[in-house]
Amino acid sequence: MRRNEKILKIKEIFDVVYADAKCSLDYTTEHELLVAVVLSAQCTDNRVNIVTKDLFKKYKSVKDFAKSDIDELEEIVRPCGFYKTKAKNIRALSNIILEKYNGNLPDTMEELIALPGVGRKTANLILGDVFKKPALVIDTHAIRLTGRIGLTKETDPVKIEFDLKKFVPDDYSINFCHQLVYHGRAICNARSPKCEICPITHLCKYYDDRRKNKNGKSK
């Protein structure tokens, strides 16, 4: 089956099973989402949401973050890990957004990745969720699942992104990534995927290979 055909069949199933899939970070403004994503590096979304509950009460605007006391900011974000670097980047990017973009997030990949602490994964999430542009967020779930399903042979995140762009419909790209996170957490986890309850085993290379190996050993 061609990859462009497979992705449409996956979409048909995932759109039903994960109809409400969305970013699991809590936020109310575009800048809050950017801050939350920066904090989420090497940290769980659940922990970030606990931290940002107080963080966003104290800092209510881009200007608040830009003018924040670095020691106070570090202390609040400490539970997210790498707190000194994250606090420094959050304050720095807030200053740039305030001064260069009049408090608004830039809407291009080039401008976003020029911000401190922002890589392609973060930029794509902003482009997709905030600006509704075609965007593929290649996180650990996307890397694992697209490889298992057989959508790509690439292992590098950037190469995976550009490979998937060849056949994932633009208007499905960001939703597909959110659905992969949901599927990865609920069923296709890293250590012991629950293939017995997976709705896309008939489309999955990993499942097909495992079944063939099992049948081969039983002969």
Active-site entry in 6, 86, 121, 129: 121
Asked if 139 is an active-site residue, the reply is: yes
Active-site entry in 15, 26, 107, 139: 139
- Measuring CA to CA, which residue among 107, 163, 102, 108 is closest to residue 136? 163
Rounded to whole angstroms, the Cα distance separating 193 from 197 reads 9
Phi and psi angles of residue 3, each rounded to the nearest 5 degrees, phi first: -65, -35
Secondary structure of the chain as H, E, C letters: CCHHHHHHHHHHHHHHHCCCCCCCCCCCCHHHHHHHHHHCCCCCHHHHHHHHHHHHHHCCCHHHHHCCCHHHHHHHHHHHCCHHHHHHHHHHHHHHHHHHCCCCCCCCHHHHHCCCCCCHHHHHHHHHHCCCCCCCCCCHHHHHHHHHHCCCCCCCHHHHHHHHCCCCCHHHHHHHHHHHHHHHHHCCCCCCCCHHHCCCHHHCHHHHHHHHHHHHHHC
Rounded to whole angstroms, the Cα distance separating 43 from 78 reads 11
The residues assigned a catalytic role are 121, 139
